[in-house]
Amino acid sequence: MTKLSAIAVALSIFISHLFRSATSQGITYTFPDCTVAPLKSNAVCDTTKDPVTRAQAIISEFTVSELISNTVNLSPGVARLGLPAYQWWSEALHGVASSPGVTFAPVGSNFSFATSFPQPILMGAAFDDELIKDVATVISTEARAFNNFGRAGIDFFTPNINPFKDPRWGRGQETPGEDPFHISQYVFNLIQGLQGGIDPKPYIKVVADCKHFAGYDLENWEGNSRMSFNAVITPQDLSEYYLPSFQSCVRDARVASVMCSYNSVNGIPSCANSYLLQSLLRDYWGFNDEGRWVTSDCDAVDNIFSTHHYTADYPHAVADALKAGTDVDCGTAYSLHLPDAFNQSLITKDDLEKALVRQYSSLVRLGYFDSPKVQPFRQLDWSDVNTPAAQALALKAAAEGIVLLKNDGTLPFKKSIKKLAFIGPWANATTQMQGNYEGIAPFLVSPMQGAINTGFSVTFAFGTSISGTDTSGFAEALAAAKAADAIVFAALDLISQLSSLGKPLVVMQFGGGQVDGTEIKNNTKVNSILWAGYPGQSGGTALGDIISGKTAPAGRLATTQYPASYINQVNMTDMNLRPSSTNPGRTYKWFTGTPVFEFGHGLHFTTFAISWQHQPSTVYQIPPGLTNQIGKSNIDLNAFETFNVVVKNTGKVASDYVALLFLSGNGGPAPLPNKQLVSYTRLQGIEAGRQSVATLQVTLGSIARADANGNLWLYPGKYELTVDTGTEVYLTHSFELEGSPTQISKFPQDSS
């Protein structure tokens, strides 16, 4: 952007707040001006009308060609009607991110960076729902500030809420973990922070987008590409594992957008799948309301014909997608082939208008047509980006999610340890700390720099490459280690040589988290292991604070760390969760092997004693009459019981504590999973010698189980609750659930 245009934008916002313009990777963002013709007399500008009515007023004036041209993510608008071009595709997974809809300014300028929080895989390990809401609130505030100066759209293709069930899926780092209940709570809070609440009035803050719907967790494995993969999933697994996070996002948090995925589900491409997009999404979860739309993943509509070969040609492919309920094509298939589909009478003008009304009523809810004088979000500017509070929150998010996997008392380092040797490619990592879908961070603190800032004297040696193929730095690494008081490293190839030096040895693990750490877990000369995921802009500071003892870790693994043999025991294309002759079972709920570190594992710098505040009942009754409420209320959200656990810090270090409540049992026609998470909470800063109470609320849905058709049932039987302290100390309670088996939901069946 030239200086002249930049000044023009600034002046227009400052003086009138009615117009803005800036270039964002090929698009000039300009908001409609309802104070001038032709929009001035159009009902789309009437703020007394509902969003759908307002959207219909403008869409009814579109020609067929104008309708078609605006069904893609890079929408040209309709100049003759005063509608500017708009890019629907912006990203903000863990901060405003580089993407087609987002443009960062040159270094040193306003909007040259945005707060970079940890990846969701690390924030999920914090098990702190309020933290997630706070992080999302900062992200949406910064997104709106970027938008106010033409540097981003107002809707963002985030979050990724596919359960992370297979360690080979590199994009698992984008998710909160493997457990469907945990992801459901995470996304429920995240969407509120992004959108400004549950169906906020009068304006939604930004539009979030829950992706990838559905059964998506494979990129390319042994010739199986996500572009053509057919995920064969039983109704039971859909209901119990693959869809709860989407139900929470859509039905409960009221997200405004959903992305259909590349893959097919049971033979039908997701973006042409009326069972997914109509029967489940719109009819079952109520996605039919104003301002809610479905976008394809980028080029997924094209793939319906080109890779899935689901239709005979492109016109039928785009027609199937549009009529199934895909409103926005992130790609070009709609603009290229909908004209032919229309001419062949495969679609109607009504079909096109339906999709455009959904899109534009969403923009109405965002205040797209309204004066900034009535919108609180249009006042946000550069001063609202990466504020001191946002920086503190990024540090808190990193510190809360880091997990202490192993410790013999070496951490935190004693005051006598002053010289550290940081060894390995991650030791001085900066941009790698962000993971993918990242933006430009205001700063990036490496693990080594974090230790220096804490007061340690640090020597760095590269040691080896991330892949471990370059061993030329071994000698330098050993020399650095010999001269240090303690060793901090993340290069497994060096472990045997470094551990033989007899010095305190701490391993920091980075990345998605599902790696085989058996060797370092069992090596008694490896004193401590910290898992740090992708900790974002302040990750090094958080790690420095932990090893020095300024911060006590309390994160819990949100994934199972499998032994390496796991990947040889099950095909990545096998979507089944339960163990069989060809499947050892997936996730902590069903895995029949022995994990290296199990889901929920996490140690502390202190010790805890836990007890029931009030002894729970030994008998509970299944409430009568629940089946009669199916279709009238969301029975799964009904309260079952609240369990209060007294947590006493019996050590000498103040620490947070994450209470995870698991359920196991034998009720129903088949055994329950090994165990399943039914509630959790994070207690903040319990001082040594003091205690706090963890309130664990359990719903009927979290103790229910899906039958073969996906219907949820409450089954009588014997059950056990378990809470742990992070060590081999458990609090348990057995109870019996009495009554008749009771159905509490009716899962839609796929009749295609």
Active-site positions read 297
Give the contacts of 719 (CB within 8 A, at least 6 positions apart).
663, 664, 665, 666, 667, 672, 703, 734, 735, 736, 737
CB atoms closer than 10 angstroms to residue 378: 21
Residues 6+ apart with CB under 8 A from 107: none
**Do the beta carbons of residue 659 and residue 693 sit within 8 Å?**
no
- What is the arrangement of strands in the sheet containing 419-423, beginning at the earlier edge strand? 403-407, 528-531, 505-509, 486-489, 419-423, 457-461
Whole-angstrom distance, CA of residue 325 vs CA of residue 304: 14
3-state secondary structure at position 251: helix
Helices 539-548, 388-401: crossing angle, 10 deg rounding = 60
Using H for helix, E for strand and C for coil, what is the string for 586-620?
CHHHHCCCCCCECCCCCECCCCEEEEECCCCCCEE
Cα 628 to the center of its chain, rounded Å: 35
- DSSP states along 63-91: -HHHHHHTSBSEE--BGGGTBPPEE--BB
Distance CA 320, CA 318 (A): 5
Number of Cβ within 10 Å of residue 690's Cβ equals: 11
Burial class (CB in 10 A: 0-12, 13-18, 19+), 619: exposed
Instruction: Tell me the H-state helices in 402-522.
Output: 447-454, 474-482, 495-499, 518-522
Q: Which two tokens stand for residue 202?
A: 């009068």
Distances (CA, A) of 140 to 166, 188, 206, 345, 424: 30, 15, 6, 42, 36
DSSP 385-408: SS-HHHHHHHHHHHHHH-EEEEES
Number of other residues whose CB lies within 10 A of the CB of residue 199: 14
Location of structure tokens 């992706």: 211
Give Cα separations from 93 to 168, 264, 408, 452 (angstroms): 21, 24, 36, 30
* CB of 436 closer than 8 Å to CB of 171: yes
Q: Which residue has the tokens 């060797």?
A: 519
88-119 per-residue burial string, b: 16 or more CB within 10 A, e: under 16: bbbbbbbbbbbbbbbbbbeeeeebebbbbbbb
Dihedral angle sign, alpha carbons of residues 13, 16, 18, 19 = negative
User: Which of 598, 181, 664, 95 has the alpha carbon at shortest distance from 394?
Assistant: 95
Q: Which amino acid is at 749?
A: Q
Provide the total of helices (H) and of strands (E) in the chain, helices listed first: 21, 29
d(CA 256, CA 192): 11
Beta strands 257-260 and 209-213 are parallel
The rounded distance, in Å, linking the Cα atoms of 35 and 38 is 9
Say which DSSP state 372 is in.
G
Cα gap 743→246, rounded to integer Å: 21
Q: Which of 500, 499, 483 is nearest to 421 (CA)?
A: 483
